[in-house]
Structure formats: C-alpha cells, structure tokens
C-alpha cells in the first residue's frame, strides 16, 4: 500500500478587506467586542462578478500545482470541500476541472462537512492514493460566505466571524511509509445538527424552499448556539488530536506545528494550553481572515509554504471542529 504526501500548497483571498471598524458602521458592535470574543481584526469579502467559490478554488489550485512543479494534466482527481457552492447543484469540483483546462475528463467529488470539510477531503484523497487508484489528487477548500451574512445587529453574533477565501494542496503518491499522511480520524454527532446550521434549502416545510428561503429568517440564515459550539469544540479538538498522536506513537511534545481550523482564537488558545504547546508551534491567521470554514487549514498550509515554515520530517497535526457536529484530525510527517 502507498502513502500520500502534500507536494504543493496555494491560496487565494479576495482583495477587499473588511475591518471591525467597517462592521461598526453596519451594526451595533465594536472592534473591542469582536477581538475579545473571537480574536478577529479583519476579513476578506469577494467583489461580485470577480470571485466565486469555484474560481477562487481554481486560483489557489493553480498556485499549488505550480509550487509542486505539476500541471493540470497531471491531476487524476479533484476533491472540493465547501459549504457555499456557486450552484445548489452541481458542486464546484466540476467547475474547477473545466477552469483548470484539464485535458482529461477526470472525476471531481464535493465534500460538505463545513468547518471539518478540508480534513475530511484530505482523508478521502489519502484513501484513494493509498489504495493505488490515483497518483495525484487536488484537494481544495473554498468559501464565499459574505453574501449569506446578515450584516445588521440582528445577525452580528455570527456575521462578524466569517470571511471569504480559498486554499488548495496537491497530494501525490509516495512509497515511503514513514512520510506523508500518517493517519486521519473523523467523527460526527448529529444530535447537535441544529446547534450550527442553515435550514434552507431543505425539506423542513411543505412549501418549496425557493418560495420562502429569502424571507423566512430562521430558515435562510446561519443559526448558532455559540456557547454550546464552544464547549464542544474545546473538548473534541483535544480528543481528536490526541487520537492522532496516540495512533502513531507520538505525544504533543513531538509536534512541530499545530494547524487548527480557524474558528475562534479563544478555542485555539484553550487547546494550546491543554497540549502545553509554545506559541511558535501553533499557527493562527484568524486575525487577518476570520473563519473561512473549509478554506482555513489549506490557507495556513500555503502561508507556511510561502514562509518556508515547513521542514523535512516535521510533524504536523491538522484539526477541525464544526457544524454537524463533525470533527477530524490528520497527522502528517513532511
């Protein structure tokens, strides 16, 4: 059986920067309130007509392929993670296949696991490569959330948290069983599905979703029980990280980098203290981008790639928690 390794990473974020001060003009909030509760200082929003979920994914994928020394024709399969597809259907994976200009009609799979989406997608790609089905897989996380946010006082508890952006990695086969993706671990707890959700489009009403999704607030906006999500996140993050470490005979002391999903800086700091990790072993960029959901982890990997913050034999753990509830981790040896 083969192993899979990440051989390239790239990201793209829209040019438009929206600061906390900008949001103060739209709702009853403050820069201090947002920073204290989330750590976020600014985020990016798309400009309509310029960026979409799919084309941001394509832009990040092109960078990742270039850094890997590969072209679109080398890609055997695409796995695209998002909660914000450009169409209700089809998903954005097939759009990327077209926008990349792939000569072959390669397969494309969409993953809908929200904040855990990229780690789930990484695991799917890992299994395809390990079994020998594919050699090179493009894994993308991309989100456009700004057009679904209620930028008024009514929606401030959720809307101040999210931003737009995309990241991608290229995964490739390796015969070195001591390198690459060492293991992935995924969990869900559906009893908490409505603690963080958007109900429409859906089948909760007899009326067609398109008849009321834009006027029924409780069905068309993101609903979140913030305290419940926070309490579960800090527990599940730690559990799934330790699961990955123990499965491979490592401890937290062996980690060179903890790459968490960027949900809330307070969650990251809590887990950091629990694992007793120094600041230099924890990467956060939520201050600049907010929560870009499935895109947060690949954006970090791309930034580390740019900064040459990844060295051979480094031990990385990726971890995420989000809507579903779902949570997941991946342990990587570069």
Q: Tokens 């960078």 belong to which residue?
A: 63
Provide the 10 A C-beta neighbour count for residue 188: 15
As beta bridge partners, residue 5 has 172
Residues 22, 109: Cα–Cα separation, whole Å: 37
User: What ranges make up the beta strands (E) of 144-264?
Assistant: 165-174, 180-188, 196-197, 223-224, 257-260
| Position 44 pLDDT exceeds 90 | yes
In the chain, where are the structural domains located?
A: 3-174, 180-333
Residues classed as catalytic: 115, 261, 291
Q: Report pLDDT for 192.
A: 87
Distance between start and end Cα atoms, the chain: 18
pTM of the model: 0.94
* pLDDT tens track for 55-107: 999 999 999 999 999 999 999 999 999 999 999 899 999 999 999 999 999 99
Higher pLDDT, 254 or 215: 254
Q: Among 60-69, 104-113, 148-157, where is mean pLDDT lowest? A: 148-157
Q: Report pLDDT for 231.
A: 86
* pLDDT tens track for 178-233: 899 999 999 999 998 888 778 767 666 666 655 655 556 555 566 677 788 888 88
| Position 333 pLDDT exceeds 90 | yes
| Position 10 pLDDT exceeds 60 | yes
Residues 151, 131: Cα–Cα separation, whole Å: 46
- CATH, domain 3-174, list 3.40.1390.40, 3.90.79.10, 3.40.630.30, 3.40.47.10: 3.40.47.10
Compute the mean pLDDT over every residue in the chain, rounded to the nearest whole number. Answer: 93
Q: Among 17-21, 152-156, 194-198, 298-302, where is mean pLDDT lowest? A: 194-198
Out of 149-153, 226-230, 252-256, the most confident range is 252-256
* pLDDT tens track for 126-142: 999 999 999 999 999 99
**Burial of 276 per CB tally in 10 Å (0-12, 13-18, 19+):** exposed
Q: Report pLDDT for 205.
A: 64
Q: Among 27-36, 152-161, 194-203, where is mean pLDDT lowest? A: 194-203
Please state which CATH number belongs to domain 180-333.
3.40.47.10
Whether 180-333 and 3-174 are alike in CATH topology: the answer is yes
Identify which of 250, 245, 256, 237 has the alpha carbon closest to the alpha carbon of residue 319. Answer: 237
Q: Report pLDDT for 268.
A: 96
Residues 170, 122: Cα–Cα separation, whole Å: 10
Residues 306, 66: Cα–Cα separation, whole Å: 13
Percent above pLDDT 90 for the chain: 82
Residues 183, 119: Cα–Cα separation, whole Å: 11
The torsion angle over the Cα atoms of residues 173, 176, 167 and 242, rounded to 10 degrees, is: 130
Cβ-proximal residues to 238 (8 Å cutoff; 6+ apart), any chain: 271, 274, 275
Higher pLDDT, 192 or 327: 327
């Amino acid at each position: 059986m083969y192993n899979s390794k990440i051989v390239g990473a790239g990201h793209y974020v829209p040019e438009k920067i929206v600061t906390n001060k900008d949001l103060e003009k739209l709702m009853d909030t403050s820069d201090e309130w947002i920073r204290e509760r989330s750590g976020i200082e600014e985020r990016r929003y798309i400009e309509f007509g310029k960026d979409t979920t799919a084309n941001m994914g394509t832009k990040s994928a092109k960078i990742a392929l270039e850094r890997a020394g590969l072209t679109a024709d080398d890609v055997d399969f695409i796995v695209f993670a998002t909660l914000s597809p450009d169409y209700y259907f089809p998903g954005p994976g097939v759009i990327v296949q077209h926008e990349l200009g792939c000569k072959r009609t390669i397969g494309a799979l969409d993953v809908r696991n929200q904040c855990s989406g990229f780690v789930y997608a990484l695991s799917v790609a890992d299994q395809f490569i390990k079994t020998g089905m594919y050699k090179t897989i493009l894994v993308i996380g991309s989100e456009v959330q700004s057009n679904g946010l209620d930028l008024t006082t009514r929606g401030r508890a959720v809307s101040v948290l999210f931003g737009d952006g995309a990241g991608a990695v290229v995964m490739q086969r390796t015969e070195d069983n001591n390198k690459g993706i060492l293991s992935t671990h995924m969990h869900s707890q559906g009893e908490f599905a409505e603690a963080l959700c958007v109900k429409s489009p859906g089948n909760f009403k007899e009326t067609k979703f398109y008849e009321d999704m834009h006027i029924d607030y409780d069905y068309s906006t993101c609903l979140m029980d913030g305290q419940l999500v926070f309490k579960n996140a800090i527990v599940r993050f730690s559990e799934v990280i330790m699961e990955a470490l123990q499965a491979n005979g490592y401890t937290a002391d062996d980690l060179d980098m903890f790459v968490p999903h960027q949900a809330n800086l307070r969650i990251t700091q809590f887990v950091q203290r629990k694992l007793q990790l120094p600041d230099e072993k924890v990467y956060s960029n939520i201050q600049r981008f907010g929560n870009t959901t499935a895109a947060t982890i690949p954006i970090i990997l791309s930034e580390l790639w740019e900064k040459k913050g990844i060295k051979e034999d480094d031990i990385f753990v990726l971890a995420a928690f989000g809507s579903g509830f779902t949570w997941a981790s991946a342990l990587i040896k570069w």
